[in-house]
Amino acid sequence: MDSLWLIIVFCLAGFFLKTADFLGEKGFKAKAFLASGLSALLFWVLLKANSETATLILSITVGCVLALKVDRPNLVFGVGFLAFLAFIFGFCFPIFWLLVLLTAVTVLDEFTHEKLKNMFFRFRGFLKTVVVILAFLGFLSYLNALGFIIFDLTYDLTDVWLKRVKS
C-alpha cells in the first residue's frame, strides 16, 4: 500500500473507532453499528498492508479485548466483523514478539487510562512512547510509527470533537 494511503487509512480507522465507541455509549444503535463496521473494514485493510502494520492493529484489537474494553454490542460486532474479514479475505501475519509486547502495553494503557487521570495516562501515553522508542531502535518503520501516532491522535481528537458537538 502506498505510504500516503496507509496514513489516510490509519487516520480514518482512528476516527471511526472513536465514533463507534461514542455512538454506542450514547445509544445511537444503528449509527454505532455502521461506524463499527467501517472501523473494522479499515482495521482489516491495515491488517492486509504488511506484517508490521498488522502487528500494530492486532495488538490494539487484542489488547482492548483483554482489557475488557469491547463492552458494547456494536464494538463486539466490529471485532467479529474484523475476524470475519480476516478469516475470509486473509491478513498479514504479525511479528510474534512485537505482538506480545504491544498487546501487553495496550492492556497497561487501557487500565492506567481508567485509573490515573493525569495528561500522560489520559491520552494513553505508554503505547505511543513504546511505539516511538521501537521506531528509533529500528524495530518499527517510521511510517508505521507515524501511522500509529496519527491513528491515536485522531482517536483522541475525535473524542474531543464529538463531546463538543454533542454538548
- Rounded to whole angstroms, how far apart are CA atoms 164 and 26? 14
Beta-strand ranges (E) seen in 97-147 are none
Task: Mention every residue, 6+ apart, whose C-beta is less than 8 A from residue 8.
Answer: none
pLDDT digits (tens, 9 = 90+) for 22-72: 999 998 999 999 999 999 999 999 999 999 999 999 999 999 999 999 999
Structural domains counted in the chain: 1
Can you read off the three cell numbers belonging to residue 146? 507515524
Task: Look up the domain containing 132 and give its range.
Answer: 3-166
- Rounded to whole angstroms, how far apart are CA atoms 72 and 55? 24
pLDDT score of 114: 66
pLDDT digits (tens, 9 = 90+) for 118-128: 555 455 678 99
